Structure 1
Amino acid sequence: MKDITIVICSYNYERFLREAIDSALAQEPDRTVVVVIDDGSTDGSRAIIESYGDRIVPVIKENGGQASAYNLGLEMADTPYLLYLDSDDVLYEGAVAQVLRAFESGNYAKVQFRLSVIDGEGVRTGARVPNSTPPAGCGELLRRGWLYPSPPASGNAYRVSALRQILPVPKAKGRGIAADFFAIYGIALLGDVMAIEEELGGYRVHRKESGAAPATNREVGLSIANCQDISEVVHAFPHRWAALRQLVSERLGEELPERAIDFSYEKAHLCMRVYDATLWKRWQWILCDSRQYFRSIVANPFWTVGKKVSAIALTLVCLVPSRRISDQAVLYIANPLARGAQGARS
């Protein structure tokens, strides 16, 4: 029996798929099973998957969305640990070896590691996610509503026995329900989370090239997520939290707070209200609607005092009369990737 299953979930990402598979196959081959789930792709993904023969476990299925791929990957896992790798991301050399050593050092429900933010060509941008390290006791903080700092999907490995208490993901209700959201945060209620400081993989930021409307400069500048603008973050997050609360109540018998506290969500509100806004609208936001935003900074259990002071100071720059300076401050708050681009335009 091997130790960890890497489940690559893919849909129409033939441009990146081979790089993802190769990075997974390079990880401790004697201890790793690589499962590639194609979720009904209509591009050349299937031919790429078939070219690997028995080096991987291929699964070709009808399109059912991320939740169906996550559920099937967990169902297939016959190892103590599991890592979901998005097909546009990569693992760096030695990533799984470090993850397995971390699991073996304690009874952890999840081991997470930082991801380098890379561009469409795989070049490191200099940014990384997450920027903060979660403290011990993530579960207790989550029970108070605080979402702990976590990398995107590809930076998380799970103890399968714990993950099966959270998944399978229920059929999505409402908008923007992401399967990885359930796994990343629900797992913290079932055991300790171990955070590796090193960047062990690449999180690729790009825009879909086919069938998608061109992204505006505002969308590219303000959002680090792929093909998702700030307004979608704001609208989707409450649905995700409500769905997680329901799942935790039904499966674990626990009640999470009605409202979550998350700086990423609050800064999305800031962007919608302040970016490219008149001076009056910017002051109106800070005087009337900024309470939750500043609470997510001042009471943040994951940030140092220095980081809190810096965030507040940078936010106050948004109130200067110059819209150009205000917008630059918003870009620095919202998305580290925008900083280089902003400097290049100046």
Structure 2
Amino acid sequence: MNHVTVVICNYNYERYLAAAIDSALAQDYPATHVMVIDDGSTDGSRPIIEKYGTLISPIFKKNGGQVSAYNLAIEVLETEYVIFLDSDDVLYRSAVSEVMRCFMERDWAKVQFRLDVMNAAGALTGAYVPHSEPPHDCRKLLLDGWLYPSPPASGNAYRVSALRRVFPVPEEGVNRYGADFYAIYGVALSGPIATVPKSLGGYRVHNAGSATVSFANSEQMTRAPKAFNKRWTILRTIVRDRLQMELPPAFHDFSHEKAFFCSNIYHATFLTRWHWMLRDSGRYLHAIVANPFWGLKKKLGTLALSSLCLVPYSPLSDFVVRYIANPLARRRVAGR
């Protein structure tokens, strides 16, 4: 039986850490190992980790950020398969069994699966991510600059040998965080990916209100685009040097472009909204119209929704922005 390691990278998440560890230990796949890397937490995380004794492999390190934790894990891993579980997320009991069934069918570089969205208290919201399924071979799309639909960090299982073609990555500056960016997109350049078409875990969203615009945990809506651009530049260098492939200078991704859309349109005046849509929406519209992962119905629907931001009634425009940005707003409407 092939062995798998669930690596939990933690920093000051004592409130959620035990649930993450318990979910990893409860896997019905017998050859599952659990490693917890604590990135210099200053809260009560260490006693929680220590109470598990030999059930887990703990590593306590100086604080260096998520990328440093990934770099260390990938260096010391002794299994060929790994899931990086965020310390505020959980895996369902059959998660490892499901992904290993896929890995045994073909030489996948990565197997991804959906995550159910939870609120801060761990209650399911009815939403899940992602909503689109990529093709098995994303290499050509990435070489053309298209980021493929992927779940957040906890929804990905990797072949470690594929990760080692990309990692280690630089740890300083913007690269303290966003390690999953390099894992998700770098690994897809080294081999095909598979998708399990059902939810195998829970993704905790701390700002999970349907009335908010931001849906990301790790970075603010206005900061994420800048970070993504810098990470893409770093990934280009890594891919050129280690994989002998050339990524384009810019990338295309609806999630990235909608951050600009939301930050410029939300709570904006009528004239400001028109100005942005007429002069600065080119990349946003391209990410919709030319999106290789969307069907015609979804493209037309998103364009129609976006056009409602041009009406004079500001509350409608703000509702549209929330609906596009935050899947939880869609669940609220569907539940009425």
TM-score of the two chains, using structure 1 as the length reference? 0.93
Paired residues for 1:1-346 under 5 Å: 3-28=3-28, 30-174=30-174, 178-206=178-206, 221-226=212-217, 228-339=219-330
Q: Does the 8 A contact of 1:177 with 1:236 survive in 2? A: no
Distance 2:53 2:176 in 1: 35
- Structure 1 spans left out of the alignment, 5+ residues: 208-214
Distance 2:55 2:157 in 1: 21
Q: Does the 8 A contact of 1:36 with 1:49 survive in 2? A: yes
Alpha-carbon spacing, 1:176–1:132, altered in 2? closer, same or farther (3 Å): farther
Q: Sequence identity, in percent? A: 55
- Structure 2 spans left out of the alignment, 5+ residues: none
Alpha-carbon spacing, 1:201–1:174, altered in 2? closer, same or farther (3 Å): closer
Report how far residue 126 of structure 1 moved: 1.2
Report how far residue 235 of structure 1 moved: 2.1
Alpha-carbon spacing, 1:227–1:251, altered in 2? closer, same or farther (3 Å): closer
Tell me the amino acid that sits aligned with residue 296 of structure 2.
V
Tell me the amino acid that sits aligned with residue 264 of structure 1.
S
Distance 1:235 1:188 in 2: 23
Secondary structure class of the residue paired with 1:85:
strand
Report how far residue 79 of structure 1 moved: 1.1
Tell me the amino acid that sits aligned with residue 220 of structure 2.
D
Alpha-carbon spacing, 1:61–1:177, altered in 2? closer, same or farther (3 Å): closer
Post-superposition Cα deviations, 1:197-256, rounded to whole Å, max 9, x if no partner, equal 10000110116xxxxxxx9x99x7111111532111222121111111111112112110
Q: Does the 8 A contact of 1:222 with 1:338 survive in 2? A: no
Q: Does the 8 A contact of 1:89 with 1:203 survive in 2? A: yes
Secondary structure class of the residue paired with 2:43:
coil
Distance 2:122 2:137 in 1: 34
Secondary structure class of the residue paired with 1:107:
coil
Distance 1:316 1:176 in 2: 37
Alpha-carbon spacing, 1:43–1:118, altered in 2? closer, same or farther (3 Å): same
Q: Does the 8 A contact of 2:139 with 2:188 survive in 1? A: yes
Report how far residue 175 of structure 1 moved: 6.5
Q: Does the 8 A contact of 1:85 with 1:154 survive in 2? A: yes
Count matched residues.
Answer: 336
Distance 1:137 1:309 in 2: 26
Distance 2:68 2:86 in 1: 14
Tell me the amino acid that sits aligned with residue 95 of structure 2.
A
Q: Does the 8 A contact of 1:25 with 1:34 survive in 2? A: yes
Secondary structure class of the residue paired with 1:142:
helix
TM-score of the two chains, using structure 2 as the length reference? 0.95
Distance 1:336 1:109 in 2: 29
Tell me the amino acid that sits aligned with residue 267 of structure 1.
K
Q: Does the 8 A contact of 1:176 with 1:239 survive in 2? A: no
Q: Does the 8 A contact of 1:5 with 1:83 survive in 2? A: yes
